[in-house]
Structure 1
Amino acid sequence: MSEAVGERAQVHDIGRRRAWLIWVVALAVYMLAVFHRSSLGVAGLLAADRFDVTATQLAFFTVLQLLVYAGLQVPVGVLLDRYGSRRLLIAGLVLMTAGQLAFAFSTTFATAVLSRALLGAGDAMVFVSVIRLVTVWFLVRQAPMVTQLTGVVGQMGAIVAAAPLSFLLRELGWTRAFAIASSIGVVLMVLVVMVVKDSPYQRAEVVTVKLRALAQSVRLVWGNPGTRLGMWSHFASQFSVTVFSLLWGFPFLVRGQGWTESAASTLLMAMIGWVVVSGFVLGALVARYPFYRSWIVIGVVVTMMAAWAAVLVRTTPAPTWLVVLLAFATASGGPTSMVGFDLARSFNPVQAIGRANGIVNVGGFMASLLCMALIGVVLDLRQDGGMDSYDLGDFRVAMSVQFAFWVLGIIQVLRFRRRGIAHLERVHPGAVEQMRAGTPWVHPGLGEEGV
């Protein structure tokens, strides 16, 4: 691998007005990506009728979309380190717009699946591009909170998917509703071209990775235990809220708990409000206690497990307050997963942050797609009559598969936390003591760190 580092003359202030303007535009792109990603969550029952599919096939829509998303994270990370956030945001918008427009006019299962795959490819380029902008445009004391803001405010896109999209689907129908949704990307392309700049410096640091050195480059970032600590933190905390909001939460509430569709949509919207509140709290905790970030992740995951256990052990529908508690505990996993990127930032130099964030992002979305698919398989094994035949007993069994992912995630977080601390003590003496004292540690940016 050869690295060409451009001139480092600073031409814009870091963490000031220009940085916030760039972030707002990039954040709008992320909100659109979340909207597109979440759109099937409220259109799932309509999609089952439109394409005449089973639960497994319905899950395949989102599973394939997330599989494409997760599979592209490492290549996208390499491209991000080489070409910067601006180009990848534009490419992501082009793909998402094309995918959603194709989905609007799809009438067969095959074409709809291909449309969601295209959407997943565009989505894959967005979030890590925004996080890289946060890394280079904001001060180290600002970055943890801005990272949390990115996650929680970005999830507002799911609110648009939960209520307004439901309204558009009812009033305008499938094709017109999704066609209107796809047109938003064109407006954002113009804003990205006009506003977003990759770096506050005259020339951004870029990393040219030759094809034959690609595997070695990724291995070096993967070999850093801090990268894998971030990945497993993302794995353990993110999948449940993704599974709930993107696909199975709405049917679980309506078919399993006996809620009305409007009540289920309202709860999905309320979850986003809780994401914002909990995100601010978690952002403050992460900035104040950098050494205990992994324990914060584990604490939230255990809370989710307890809430789901309290609901799933019941043989009758849970009381409303308990379902709301479950939804809010699950929603907390969204901002908690942002801690994974903050961990990767601590352990990797800025030249490798695109690849590191790509690896971290794989964790939660691989868990999401596997869990989502398993829930669909379990439902079909219990009942073969389609979505209308599932009852509370079916969902109790199917949603229990989440516990296997949580247990695996916690074990791996504890494992790589120990390795990560040992790595910092060996390679960067004083870093651990600095974080114990409550001061964020900034990677000095010296080279690529493997094991």
Structure 2
Amino acid sequence: MEKQNSSYRWIVFGSVLFSYFLIVSQRTAPGLITNQLMKDFNITAAVVGLLTSIQFFAYSGLQIPIGLLSDRLGPNGFLIVGTLLNGLGTVVYSTASNEYVLFLSRLMVGTGDAAIWVNLVLILSQWFKVGEFIKLLGFAGMAGSLGSLLATVPFSAWISASGWRIPFLSSGIMLCLSGILLYFVLVIRPRQLFKNISETKKPQHKKREKTSVILKRMITTRQAWATFLCHFGVMGTYVGFIGSWGVPFGMDIYHMSRSAASQLLMYGLLGAIFGAPIISWFTSRRETIKGTYLSIQFIIFLSWLTFFLYAGKPPFFMSVILFIATGFGSAAGSLTFAIVRKSFPMTEVGAISGFANTGGFISAVLLPFLFGNVLDHFHHAPVNVGYQYGFLIPVLFSFIAVIGGIMVKEKQKNKQSQLSA
């Protein structure tokens, strides 16, 4: 029995997506307590932005090394260790007594998180055929959006009822248990079901290329840079904003409570939840990914530009529409990895996926910190002024994604060749 034809692959799919669901919730949940952290630890907006950025800095800095190592050593161990480290970091975060422990905990979370998406992509590549892969990437994105949705109204209500420490402690414990589950699902059980797969699938005589050769080819390939720039603008702007300044935006601009402000994020996440399967389904029925992706990139760019043109304070109903639009657009981030899968050999998918993913999270590193500095700079001005000029950052970043979309080169394949790939 082969992996790609076995019913067990759906257990793998469900277990991996459940872990990703929990992990993404902790990627954005700290944004719910931005103001609370500033009060409890007596820190500025810029420090909070740096706190968010350090998590994404660790994530982005490790993407390429983990991609290369995963191509060589396999993705299972990295996914398991990443999940456990994410859980332990969240537990430490919940018990922090000062800002230095906060920084350490977010560094742990970012390091663990760095091992998740690239290895999720590789695991799906191993267990599913290409025809299934593009569709399932959309559902993986949907699982991530549901995790972010958990970190809006439900998590906010929990925080309001019990304080912020208990919810984060509980989430950390759940992530540790999820890591243990992954060890059983990805390592123990497959050894029993597919005893001879690893031996028969391993290339016995093919010499591996040097890492330096792979890296040189990667950084000199237009297609690799196109995916990097696409992800920089599509994912980084959305993740960076909702993970740090989305809730404060609702509280400062519309004078909403924390729970009510988290509903703004919920609108965006609903857009992402519905966008993921719609975009993947629509794309899987077409010969081209580029046209769909480029159109969505323009929508994202225009949405952020509208925030700026309305001086940082659009009418509330328009903000709802814009959050939905940016959320829907972020769901197209999975197309970055569909392009990688179609453009590069399997032996390089991990490394190129890591490189592309680095783009998204460099953006997510820069945006919270820069946005926080802009808000601090305009501290004495009307509050919307700081947000207005802050929105220039995602405007610029999303325009970079448009450039990346234009750079994408796509080989036209007939359906028969795609199915046989």
Please point out which of 256, 259, 276 is paired with 2:256.
259
Please point out which of 346, 353, 357 is paired with 1:357.
353
CA drift of 1:315 comes to 4.5
Please name the residue that 1:425 is paired with.
Answer: none
CA drift of 1:211 comes to 12
Deviation string 1:117-147 (CA, Å, 9 cap, x unpaired) is 1110000001111111111111211111101
CA drift of 1:151 comes to 0.9
Please point out which of 209, 216, 221 is paired with 1:219.
216
Deviation string 1:145-177 (CA, Å, 9 cap, x unpaired) is 101110112221112221332233223223322
Pairwise mapping of residues 88-237 of structure 1 onto structure 2 (< 5 A)? 88-196=78-186, 202-203=197-198, 205=202, 213-237=210-234
Aligned partners of 2:312 and 2:389 also within 8 Å:
no
The DSSP-based 3-state class of the residue aligned with 2:243 is: helix
Q: Which amino acid aligns with 2:4?
A: I
Deviation string 1:403-448 (CA, Å, 9 cap, x unpaired) is 221222322332x32xx35xxxxxxxxxx342xx56774796xxxx
Please point out which of 236, 248, 252 is paired with 1:239.
236
Please point out which of 378, 387, 394 is paired with 2:386.
394
CA drift of 1:101 comes to 1.2
Q: Say whether residues 1:286 and 2:286 are aligned partners.
A: no
CA distance in 1, matches of 2:325, 2:207: 44
CA distance in 1, matches of 2:234, 2:82: 25
The DSSP-based 3-state class of the residue aligned with 2:210 is: helix
CA distance in 2, matches of 1:259, 1:325: 17
CA 1:59–1:440: 2 relative to 1, 3 Å: farther
TM-score (norm. length: structure 1): 0.85
CA distance in 2, matches of 1:317, 1:403: 15
Deviation string 1:270-290 (CA, Å, 9 cap, x unpaired) is 322221211122102221224
Deviation string 1:78-105 (CA, Å, 9 cap, x unpaired) is 2211222221111112211221111111
CA distance in 2, matches of 1:231, 1:316: 28
The DSSP-based 3-state class of the residue aligned with 1:25 is: helix
Aligned length, in residue pairs = 414
Q: Could you tell which deviates more after superposition, 299-308 or 392-401?
A: 299-308
CA distance in 1, matches of 2:114, 2:355: 12
Please name the residue that 2:269 is paired with.
Answer: 272
Please point out which of 314, 325, 329 is paired with 1:318.
314
Q: Which amino acid aligns with 1:272?
A: L
Please name the residue that 2:337 is paired with.
Answer: 341
CA distance in 2, matches of 1:438, 1:12: 23
CA distance in 1, matches of 2:204, 2:98: 43
CA 1:64–1:19: 2 relative to 1, 3 Å: same
CA distance in 1, matches of 2:275, 2:5: 23
CA 1:126–1:206: 2 relative to 1, 3 Å: farther
CA distance in 2, matches of 1:207, 1:86: 21
CA distance in 1, matches of 2:203, 2:339: 22
CA distance in 1, matches of 2:312, 2:63: 41
Q: Give unpaired runs (5+ residues) of structure 2.
A: none
Please point out which of 363, 367, 380 is paired with 2:363.
367
TM-score (norm. length: structure 2): 0.91
Please name the residue that 2:49 is paired with.
Answer: 59
CA distance in 2, matches of 1:396, 1:111: 33
The DSSP-based 3-state class of the residue aligned with 2:399 is: helix
Q: Which amino acid aligns with 1:223?
A: T
Aligned partners of 1:240 and 1:402 also within 8 Å:
yes
CA 1:354–1:107: 2 relative to 1, 3 Å: same
The DSSP-based 3-state class of the residue aligned with 2:401 is: helix
CA distance in 2, matches of 1:212, 1:348: 15
CA distance in 2, matches of 1:250, 1:277: 22
Please name the residue that 1:406 is paired with.
Answer: 398
CA distance in 2, matches of 1:439, 1:366: 38
Pairwise mapping of residues 440-451 of structure 1 onto structure 2 (< 5 A)? 441=418
CA drift of 1:16 comes to 4.6
Aligned partners of 1:66 and 1:365 also within 8 Å:
yes
Pairwise mapping of residues 376-387 of structure 1 onto structure 2 (< 5 A)? 376-383=372-379
Aligned partners of 2:240 and 2:363 also within 8 Å:
no
CA distance in 1, matches of 2:142, 2:157: 24
RMSD, aligned CA: 2.6
CA 1:311–1:232: 2 relative to 1, 3 Å: closer
CA distance in 2, matches of 1:257, 1:174: 23
